[in-house]
Amino acid sequence: MRTAAILTSMALLMASIGAAIPAQSESLKELSIQATIPRSGYSMAFGFGSLWMMSEGRLTRINPADNSVIDIDIPSGEGGTLLADGDKYRGIAIGEGGVWVPDVGNSVIYKIDPQTNAVTLTIPTFIVGSAGNIGVGAGSIWVVTFESHDKTLTRYNPDTGVQEALIPLPRPCRGVVVDFGKVWVAAASSPELYVIDPQANRVATTIAIHAPSHLLTSGIGSIWIGYDSEGLVQGVDGGLLQVKVSIETGVTDMESDGDITTSRGYIWMINRSSIVAQIDPETASLAGLYRPPTGTLMGRRISFGDGSLWISGRSVFRVKPPD
């Protein structure tokens, strides 16, 4: 019975992976791996000269100078002991003097000091399983909390952990980015992006977008929203507060469970099959499609730092950005 269940699960996994590979798969170029770091993990963030990722209940810090690893202990608590890291720790964030790890299982946020590699602050908060629900910037920590069923953006002081504001949101939300002097929050099941004024602690503008998505990143003058189930990326101008471009990637997936980042003037989006789309915002076009080397199993989270792309999975893969 157990063997049959495993085989069935594998078949479903392969079917979902196959469905995510584009019809023009023969045109996919191969990613160039610079290093493979033996740490499994999920969400990543780059800052303070390092790559950070939760791995088996510890915070892994990778030094890009030599790809060396430091594992930092995080309080385990009693909640969420049966949860995998990808379910328990949602969306590492960098900024305001620390590395921030939301622990959904214990409803707390940990602040790690990058100088000492120690947890220096624990903020109790009311968070549940929404992905990408923390943002850092504008002098605060911003978290989608469960008050009114994920319809609240809670603001915390990054030095003391004191709650500074409870901001009502029009709908349940699950993605936060802080940039251009504003806080950007994506609705979970409605095609809307909310722009929060950090001076007034209120929703200042609602922007209609293509579809619900929590895949948000910022850079190159815009907030970028990924819809990897449809092979689409939208850019919202950070100053004009309006959608300025929609770009087709040609890579569709069964569901939106990938990642998006920016670097070197490009947007990079990855899907569940580890297919990476390189998108040129200047020409509003696809610059290239890339796949893992044959026989290499990569993950579906992507980050950029120190001149490299980083992809997580059973290991962390340091990848040379395509020219």
Spans of the chain below 50 pLDDT: 1-20, 23-24
- Containing domain of residue 148, as a range? 28-320
Tell me whether residue 36 is in a domain: yes
Q: What is the pLDDT of residue 6?
A: 37
Tell me whether residue 20 is in a domain: no
Q: What is the pLDDT of residue 318?
A: 98
Tell me whether residue 18 is in a domain: no
Tell me whether residue 163 is in a domain: yes
Tell me whether residue 148 is in a domain: yes
Tell me whether residue 9 is in a domain: no
Give the chain's domain count.
1
Tell me whether residue 127 is in a domain: yes
CA distance 111 to 193: 27
- Read off the CATH number of the domain in which 288 is found: 2.130.10.10
Q: Could you report the per-residue pLDDT of 201-243, keeping only the tens digit for each? A: 999 999 999 999 999 999 999 999 999 889 999 999 999 999 9
Strand 152-156, strand 140-145: pairing: antiparallel
Q: What is the pLDDT of residue 2?
A: 36
Q: Could you report the per-residue pLDDT of 114-164, keeping only the tens digit for each? A: 999 999 999 999 997 666 789 999 999 999 999 999 999 999 999 999 999
Tell me whether residue 19 is in a domain: no
Q: What is the pLDDT of residue 130?
A: 61
